[in-house]
Structure 1
Amino acid sequence: MSSPLPVPEGTRITVCEVGPRDGFQNEKTFIPTAKKIEIANALFASGVTHMQVTSFVSPRAVPQLADAEEVLAGIDRPEGAWITALVPNLRGAERAAQCALDAVHTVVSASETHNRKNVNRPVDQSLAEFEAVIDRLHTAGIAVEGGIATAFGCPFEGIVPPEQVARIARRYQELGAESVSLGDTTGMATPLTVRAAIRAIREAAPGLDIHLHFHNTRGVGLACVMTGLAEGVTHFDAAVGGLGGCPFAAGATGNICTEDLVYLLQESGYSTGIELDRLIDAALLTQDTIGHALPGQVIKAGPRLKRHDPDQTLTAAG
């Protein structure tokens, strides 16, 4: 299969903010609902238009997101915003159908072992159950993004063949999903595995829109973004400050950082519609709220052309 042309500079790239869901779910101290709403609104104010706000999961499994309906009802939705949430099953889909959502994200692991750890069932059973989930959401006028976790490797099984990822993507397409999101659950993606997965999906499920969701466990998340861009992908997930991880995958750390991703894209000639300074402010608000340092880099250093007062800087002696 021939390589697609790189995305031309100036192309608009969609950055989907997933921190309010994928990031907050890992925080041990409950974040007050009003603070979640404040952070989401600050992110919207920076120019973020796509956001995965919450998840309709069991409050016993993920108590941090027990206030899903209240958060969705409380945010100030900008004109043109695309609001999504995660659902694991039909019960979650029923809750989601009652809310003002544009799309819902389902998730199945490409790895059998991880899927059993994550949702306690085999891959094919998860896919079979999604038929009713997708039908229910489409009846409510809600689009579906089919998520594939451990798409680039599994902490239990190791290599995940790209053909396995492509098989799941094709099944999602058959079920009516509008797009598929490849999740790098434990940060095992490399440029080579990203390229292989994208090309396998395009071969097996032509026309299916591909989104990429990288973690930065091994420090190559943004390198994988560059590979995705070269392959023509225009939609990337990221979490404010680099929040996130996975409670069902040993060693997993946070998502790629939204500020770092936006900085990279804008300095590479792409358009995001996001104001970096205001995004950094939203990240600082998030950091103050959760009470511990975030791993993002741009939150510390600021934009490349940020100026400093030389009179406030130490001068070498001698």
Structure 2
Amino acid sequence: MPPRKRPPASSTAAPDSPLNPATHRGPFLDYLRAECGMAANTINAYSNDLAQFLTWLEGRKVRSLSQIDLQLLSAFLDELHSRGLAATTIARRLVGIKMFFRYLVLEGVVAESTAELLSSPKLWQYLPTVMSPEMVDRLLAAPGPHDSYPLRDRALLTVLYATGCRASELTGLRLQDVRLDESYCRCLGKGNKERIVSLNPVAVLALETYLNRERPGLVGHRDTDAVFVTRTGRPLSRVMIWHLVKKYAARIGCSRQVSPHTLRHSFATHMLAGGADIRALQEMLGHASIRTTQIYTQVEHSRLKAVHTKCHPRG
């Protein structure tokens, strides 16, 4: 979060600090956009999480910020746990609440953030879903002549796995970002951070075939520079990409948990298994923190342990 001078504030929150979302929620989202430089998808997620939190407070007849204490915040987390939400979902919602209170501190609305006393749910047991290289090959080969746009779909799946890009990054991919002659493309990640991602020969061939043989018919006379487009020439959305991955994953008998992010997880895990340096992998994935990338070392260790247990005579 960018440093900013904190305005003078008293040692306790003002007793009538209004909780009205119209007063604080809108400016908070503007702060995330303008000062923190967060991506639109991240801001939308925080906005939805905060709206649910404020609705929950209203249901408990909490009328002012001064009423929000550690006990109340803990009760909200307990409520999320009781819904059976994943630890990662709860952790993200807690981050949104913490950032909201940090913003209130910066604005002098409250003197200190009670939310900082809360600890995130333990995530060490969470390991991302990863496909085997063989299963990935089957997924990439799943689009066929009976599908509406097999060349587009094969190129889409191939680029997801070849680069480790997020679905949202592929929706923003433009023709001028793709350099097939040099086997790379530029993508815009979280926080509008640009990075270069490499394209392997399989991805280059799939993209070249799609761009030359199928995309012109989809675009027609529409003036668009989006790489992946719908049948009407509009850019594919994240939801559309999600549905396409689900469709082909189901076709080859994959788990229902497979999503575009599964290909990102598989890319990272397979790169580490092949000897990639974790710092280089961090740059490829566009992670701000190395700690986010380190989760993939746990995945690889878990895989090796499973192989050892299965294959060792005393396993």
Does the alignment reach a TM-score above 0.5? no
- Identify the TM-score tier after normalising by the shorter chain: under 0.3
For the pair shown, the structure with the greater C-alpha radius of gyration is: 2
The TM-score with structure 1 as length reference comes to: 0.21
Q: Which has the higher strand share?
A: 1
TM-score (norm 2): 0.21
**Greater per-residue helix proportion:** 2
